[in-house]
Amino acid sequence: MIRPRIPRGRRGLLASGGALVAVAVAVAVLVSAVGGTGRTAVRRSATYPDGLPHTRVTVSAGGCGQGWTSGRAGDQVFDVHNASSGPAEVDLVDPGTGAVYGEVEGLAPDTTRPLQVTLGGGSYAFKCLPDDADALTGPTVRIAGPAQAGPAAVPVTQHDLIPPTIAYQQWIGGQMGQLADKVGALRDAIDSGDFDAARAAWLPAHLVYERMGAAYGTFGDADKAINGTTAGLPQGTSDPRFTGFHRIEYGLWHGQSGDQLRGPADQLAKDVDQLRSTWPQARMDPAQLGLRAHEILENTEQFELTGRTDYGSGSNLATARANLDGTTTALGYLRPLLTTARLPQLPRVDAALDRVRHTLDGFGSDGHWSALNALSRAQREQVNADVGAAVEQLAAVAAVCDVRRTS
């Protein structure tokens, strides 16, 4: 199910229950949102409950990472203090490759935040990116030893994301004709009064739309018109603003007449034609493609696997399978950016998606799908577990593809 959502940045993707957690993604960072001042900032000699060594580093108008001159390997915490007059992002990087080992976003003036990292043998430096000012890289600190550093990610820039976004947008344009044809077949069946044919035509048309999931933010109001639900509508299924696929689904599976359904079917065809005609002028935001690849299955978990979008057809599992196709399509266009240097656990992402595919395919054959409420408890638990695991893995893709400043 395509749902408008509030875009979230890296911090939202790494948060759980309001607390920031360490995640084994390409950027491994624990940024606790606790403020402090220069007067209350912890000192190097203090004893810390986490049992880790702490080093205080300072960001100022003319310097970055001041206070760190020698390093040790292993788990440790940098207490990053902003002594400048404006907010800044602070990254711990490999100065040779630009790979990011940890980051603190939106560090306000006179504020201290802890940055936990695992360092191995190699060269490191702090890079400070103040708002409305050029980046500044601090001195390089070399650490000796065979210890292995934690995960790092070579930043993805807006420029990197433009080619895959354009290619994906062109793919969406190629699907528009198929969508219009299948919606036309659905409308014709309703016009002729052949409701068996209309019910058979509804699902194939709907699934074409569901496979286009990473574009929903660019569809704008058309998404609500084409694929909206009764959420927020005071009259529910009788509300005149309830339109699109689910309005027709409700009517076809609740015995409504041709007179009741012809208007919604005509409107759906018009809305699809309008979307198709305006799509060539649309512009997808490159910074959102990685986030959408994660959110498609997140929406599936929230709306399809709970049955909240079932208006009578019992096709939630078919929709979930189409959403999986949408996820893998978006991921395919991003794959050239997801190198080992950026996402070493990409094979785990693929394995998680393969498990979801195998599980869902067990409930459908020749266009016929089991209804969600026909599954046993063990089957529901398996579906939920597999999709949930894939959503967790895809959070890494969204985190890696979140655009970072490099200068």
- Residue 202 is assigned to a structural domain of this protein: yes
- Residue 15 is assigned to a structural domain of this protein: no
| Residue 66's CATH number | 2.60.40.420
CA distances from 232 to 213, 223, 242, 337, 391 (A): 22, 15, 10, 39, 26
CA distances from 339 to 101, 134, 184, 324, 332 (A): 16, 28, 42, 22, 12
Q: Looking at the structure, tell me whether residues 166 and 53 fall in a common domain.
A: no
pTM of the model: 0.81
Q: Looking at the structure, tell me whether residues 220 and 337 fall in a common domain.
A: yes
**What is the percentage of the chain residues whose pLDDT exceeds 90?**
77
Q: Looking at the structure, tell me whether residues 289 and 348 fall in a common domain.
A: yes
Pairing of strands 15-16, 19-20: antiparallel
- Residue 188 is assigned to a structural domain of this protein: yes
At 369, which helix (H) or strand (E)?
A: strand 368-369
Q: Looking at the structure, tell me whether residues 295 and 252 fall in a common domain.
A: yes
Q: Looking at the structure, tell me whether residues 221 and 356 fall in a common domain.
A: yes
Q: Looking at the structure, tell me whether residues 133 and 212 fall in a common domain.
A: no
Distance from the first to the final alpha carbon of the chain: 38
Q: Looking at the structure, tell me whether residues 178 and 125 fall in a common domain.
A: no
Answer whether 78's CB lies under 8 Å from 57's CB: yes
Q: Looking at the structure, tell me whether residues 98 and 216 fall in a common domain.
A: no
- Residue 153 is assigned to a structural domain of this protein: no
**What is the percentage of the chain residues whose pLDDT exceeds 70?**
88
Q: What is the pLDDT of residue 404?
A: 83
Answer whether 180's CB lies under 8 Å from 272's CB: yes
Q: Looking at the structure, tell me whether residues 274 and 333 fall in a common domain.
A: yes
- Residue 266 is assigned to a structural domain of this protein: yes
- Residue 304 is assigned to a structural domain of this protein: yes
Q: Which of 103, 119, 143 is the last residue of a domain?
A: 143
Question: What digits encode the pLDDT tens for the residues 173-187?
Answer: 999 999 999 999 999
Question: What digits encode the pLDDT tens for the residues 88-107?
Answer: 999 999 999 898 999 999 99
Q: What is the pLDDT of residue 35?
A: 36
Count how many domains the chain has: 2
Q: What is the pLDDT of residue 132?
A: 82
Q: Looking at the structure, tell me whether residues 298 and 165 fall in a common domain.
A: yes
Cα of 394 vs its chain's centroid, Å = 7
Query: How far is the C-alpha of 291 from the C-alpha of 195, rounded, in Å?
Result: 39
Structural domain that includes position 128: 28-143
Q: What is the pLDDT of residue 47?
A: 61
Question: What digits encode the pLDDT tens for the residues 279-308?
Answer: 999 999 999 999 999 999 999 999 999 999
Q: Which of 86, 120, 143 is the last residue of a domain?
A: 143
Strand partners, 233: none
Region 214-218: what's the mean pLDDT?
Answer: 90
- Residue 151 is assigned to a structural domain of this protein: no
| Residue 320's CATH number | 1.20.1420.20
Mean of pLDDT over the chain: 88
Q: Which of 143, 175, 194 is the last residue of a domain?
A: 143
Q: Looking at the structure, tell me whether residues 290 and 394 fall in a common domain.
A: yes
Strand partners, 117: 76
Q: Looking at the structure, tell me whether residues 268 and 162 fall in a common domain.
A: yes
With tokens 């019992």, the residue in question is 314
Question: What digits encode the pLDDT tens for the residues 330-389?
Answer: 999 999 999 877 898 899 999 999 999 999 999 999 889 999 999 999 999 999 999 999
Question: What digits encode the pLDDT tens for the residues 39-93?
Answer: 333 344 456 888 999 999 999 988 999 999 998 899 999 999 999 999 999 999 9
* DSSP labels, 301-360: IIIITTTTT-SSS--HHHHHHHHHHHHHHHHHHHGGG--TTT-TTHHHHHHHHHHHHHHH
- Residue 407 is assigned to a structural domain of this protein: no
Q: What is the pLDDT of residue 10?
A: 38
Question: Which residues, other chains included, contact 139 with Cβ-Cβ below 8 Å and sequence gap of 6+?
Answer: 65, 68, 69, 125
Question: What digits encode the pLDDT tens for the residues 132-175?
Answer: 889 999 999 999 987 788 878 888 999 999 999 999 999 999 99
Most confident of 37-51, 246-260, 389-403: 246-260
